[in-house]
């Protein structure tokens, strides 16, 4: 362990600087008040440290949510109107924040900009959000169809699941879900049309039987994709399916 006096010397000489995992700006982490402590610097700590400004921007959403779909509510937690009509197919859900501002920007940079260096930070967001869920037997990510995967080169949900696996030690089992129908653009479609697009899009093997699974994705909007994946796991005999996402859109879409 490096003594605090040496850390202070490094900081004064500019040798203790770290690059922020989000904005990439150099900064000097704050020294801990206790010699036995280490600064956390964001949800990922040393694995993906955040500068003081970005650390504030990555504060999790702690307001009331629907316990079934995690959509933010104006009042005390209770099922939202849509979930009262159509209960969620999974057994529980957790989300770190809302799909807006800095968190939205980071997810877009990962998904469309190929900024894979953000995966440890966002994976740590998942780990922090997961504290309300029962510990699983395995993690699995919402898969992409092979054609889509070859086109993009990576699956952002899988990158998040890998990061969460490294942070938590929970086994990552990519074989628990397969996507055998290609992605069809959902923009402009009604909820019923979206559900038809996703119906039978996923398959889970018999290995999922009796397992408790955390189903990982980056963002939830309508929940139709996650619901279809959940149904596949349920059909294979999974006994506990818990959705874990980085961000939830503020309103049902």
Residues of the chain with pLDDT > 90, as a percent, come to: 65
Q: Decide if pLDDT at 123 tops 90.
A: yes
Q: In terms of pLDDT, which residue wins out, 2 or 72? A: 72
Q: Decide if pLDDT at 10 tops 70.
A: no
* Beta strands per DSSP E along the chain: 18-19, 26-27, 92-98, 138-141, 178-179, 202-203, 212-220, 240-248
Through-space distance between the first and last CA atoms of the chain, rounded to whole angstroms: 50
Burial of residue 104 (number of CB atoms within 10 Å: 0-12, 13-18, 19+)? middle
Q: How far apart are CA 236 and CA 217, in angstroms?
A: 20
All structural domains of the chain, each given as residue ranges with its CATH number in brackets, are 4-56 (no CATH), 60-248 (3.40.50)
Q: In terms of pLDDT, which residue wins out, 211 or 189? A: 211
Q: 49-63 pLDDT, tens per residue?
A: 999 999 999 999 999
Mean pLDDT of 185-203: 62
Which pLDDT does position 1 carry in this prediction? 46
Q: 22-37 pLDDT, tens per residue?
A: 999 998 887 666 654 5
Q: What confidence tier does 193 reach under pLDDT thresholds 50, 70, 90?
A: low
Which pLDDT does position 3 carry in this prediction? 57
Q: Retrieve residue 218's tokens.
A: 């980056």
143 to each of 100, 182, 224, 232, how far by Cα in Å? 24, 11, 14, 12
Return the sign of the alpha-carbon dihedral for residues 9, 13, 16, 21: positive
Task: Provide CB contacts within 8 A for 28, sequence distance 6+.
Answer: 11, 14, 16, 17, 18
Q: How far apart are CA 235 and CA 199, in angstroms?
A: 13
Which pLDDT does position 196 carry in this prediction? 58
Q: What confidence tier does 7 reach under pLDDT thresholds 50, 70, 90?
A: low
Q: What confidence tier does 126 reach under pLDDT thresholds 50, 70, 90?
A: very high
Q: 107-121 pLDDT, tens per residue?
A: 999 999 999 999 999
Q: 59-106 pLDDT, tens per residue?
A: 999 999 999 999 999 887 789 999 999 899 999 999 999 999 999 999
Q: What confidence tier does 40 reach under pLDDT thresholds 50, 70, 90?
A: low
Q: How far apart are CA 185 and CA 251, in angstroms?
A: 20
Q: How far apart are CA 28 and CA 119, in angstroms?
A: 22
Which pLDDT does position 18 carry in this prediction? 87
Q: Which residue has the tokens 């009042």?
A: 75
């Amino acid at each position: 362990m490096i003594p605090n006096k040496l850390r202070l010397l490094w900081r004064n000489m500019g040798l203790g600087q770290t690059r922020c995992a989000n904005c990439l700006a150099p900064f000097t982490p704050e020294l801990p008040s206790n010699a036995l402590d280490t600064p956390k610097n964001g949800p990922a700590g040393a694995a993906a440290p955040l500068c003081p400004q970005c650390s504030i921007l990555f504060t999790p959403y702690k307001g009331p949510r629907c316990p079934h779909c995690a959509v933010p509510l104006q009042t005390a937690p209770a099922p939202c109107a849509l979930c009262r009509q159509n209960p969620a197919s999974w057994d529980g859900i957790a989300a770190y924040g809302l799909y807006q501002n800095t968190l939205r920007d980071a997810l877009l940079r990962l998904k469309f900009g190929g900024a894979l260096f953000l995966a440890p930070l966002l994976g740590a967001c998942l780990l922090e959000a997961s504290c309300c869920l029962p510990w699983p037997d395995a993690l699995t990510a919402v898969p992409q169809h092979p054609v889509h995967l070859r086109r993009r080169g990576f699956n952002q949900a899988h990158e998040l699941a890998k990061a969460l696996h490294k942070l938590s030690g929970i086994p990552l089992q990519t074989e628990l879900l397969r996507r055998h129908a290609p992605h069809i653009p959902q923009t402009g479609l009604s909820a019923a049309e979206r559900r038809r697009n996703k119906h039978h899009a996923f398959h889970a093997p018999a290995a999922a039987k009796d397992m408790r699974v955390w189903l990982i994705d980056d963002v939830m909007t309508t929940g139709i994709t996650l619901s279809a994946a959940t149904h596949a796991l349920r059909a294979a005999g999974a006994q506990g399916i818990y959705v874990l996402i980085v961000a939830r859109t503020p309103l049902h879409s």
